[in-house]
Every structure is written in C-alpha cells, then in structure tokens.
Structure 1
C-alpha cells in the first residue's frame, strides 16, 4: 500500500505532474461528456451534433474548474478571470468546432459508428486543448 501511495505521489506531484493531472482531469471530463452525449443521443434521440454540443459543454465546465485549480494551479483575480474565461471559451469553441467537423467527416465519409467517431474526435480535442491551455490560457 505504501508503494502505491508513493507511486501516486510521484505521478501527480513529481516530474509527470502536469501531464498526469491534465490526463486525469481529461478522463473525468470525458466521462461526463460521454455520459451526457449518450443520454442525449440514445435516450432523448437528439441528433449527434446537438448531443455533441451539449455533452462537450458539460465536460468543459468541469474542465475549467479542475484545470485551473488543480492541473495548472493557476491563480488569478478580478479582470484576469474575465480574460482567462474568455480565452478558455475560445479554446473550447475551437475544439468543439473541430470535433463537429471531424465527427461529420468520420460518420458521413468513412461510415464510422457515431461512438467510435466520438472517441477519435475526443482524442483530437485533447491535443488541441492541452497545447492551447498551456501556452495561452493558464500560463
């Protein structure tokens, strides 16, 4: 048990801190996104684009809170928060548009299953988000 605690401490507080925290936050965001996407798609019968927008939005809310406070440990106040939220929204709008374009392409042109397409576009969004959060939003 002690070894597990030491390993977890190294992963989340050592040399891999930023990447491991971003990844853990991303897993939580993805679970929230997929759960809401599936609920909208399968239970309510919404089109995949509407389901994607709704699911992604729920994941984004969680993402902002965890990435700001835990992953990047970014502290800001007053006017900086407005700038930060604006930049975060722009990054996620870029990611959302990218996911919608790629999802449509994968479903319509490659006839991929909607859920397989969702997994692929989620990975694309993670790369875009990490890079832009690191260099632009939480720096």
Structure 2
C-alpha cells in the first residue's frame, strides 16, 4: 500500500507531474467528447464529422479550464488570458481539422469502424495537443 502511495506521489508530484495531470484531464475530455459524439452520431443520426466537431468542442472547453488551472500552472502570469485562449483555439482547430481528415480517411478509404477511427484520431490529437500546449500555449 505504501509503495502505491509512493508511486502515485512520484507520478503526480514528481517528474511526470505535467504529463500525469494532462493524462487525467485528457481522460475526462475524451469521455466528454465520446459521450457527446455518440449522442449526436448514434442517437440523433448526425453525420460523424459534425458529431466530431460537437464532441471535440465540448472536450476542448473543459480542457482549457483544467489544463490552464491545474496541468500547466506557471509562476509567470503576465501572459494575457485572451492570448492564451487564442493560441489554445488555434492548436485545437488544427488538431480538430487533422482529426476529421484522418477520420474520413480511415472510415471512407479504409472502411474502418467510425468508433475505432475515433479512438485512433483521439490518440494522435492528444500527443499533438500536449506538445503544442507545453511549448506554445501555456509556456
């Protein structure tokens, strides 16, 4: 039990603090994204690309708040909120665009199930977003 607590402390407060927090927030964002994607795509019959925009956008709103306040905390707060928000939106528009392009490729050209495709593009977007947030948005 003590070993688990030590590992947990090391991950959440040690060298992997940012990536651990980003991952936890990412799980929540992904859950929000998948729930709304599924509601719009499966229950309401909305096209998967439109459902992707809706789900992704709701996950992004959650992501900004939690990543700014918890994951990428920094001592220097002189950066204006609107500049961070603008950069955050740019990163996510690029990420969303790439995810829709890849999702369309996987669904239409490779006949992959829409939910398998969603998982693949979500993973790619998470890696891209973490690097962009760390290096550009919340630096």
- In which range does the TM-score fall when normalised by the shorter chain? over 0.9
Give the superposition deviation at 1:103.
0.3
Equivalent residue, structure 1, for 2:118: 118
1:18 deviates by 1.2
Q: What corresponds to 1:32 in structure 2?
A: 32
Q: Deviations over 1:46-82 (max 9, x none)?
A: 00011000000010011101111111114636x7101
Q: Which runs of 4+ in 1 moved over 2 A?
A: 1-7, 74-77
What are the superposed Cα offsets for residues 74-93 of structure 1, whole Å, 9 maximum, x if unpaired? 4636x710100000000000
Match of 1:45 in 2: 45
Could you tell me how far apart the structure 1 residues matched to 2:94 and 2:6 are?
38
Q: How far 1:4 moved relative to its partner? A: 3.0
SS of match in other structure, 1:28: helix
- Runs (5+) with no aligned partner, structure 2: none
Aligned length, in residue pairs? 138
Alignment of 1:1-139 (within 5 A): 1-74=1-74, 76=77, 80-139=80-139
Separation in structure 2 between the aligned mates of residue 8 and residue 90 of structure 1, nearest angstrom? 33
Query: With structure 2 as the length reference, what TM-score do the two structures score?
Result: 0.94
**Partners of 1:76 and 1:64 in 2: CA distance:** 15
Which secondary structure does the structure 2 equivalent of 1:46 belong to? coil
Extract unaligned runs of 5+ from structure 1: none
Give the aligned CA root-mean-square deviation in angstroms. 1.3
Q: 1:101 offset after TM fit, Å? A: 0.3
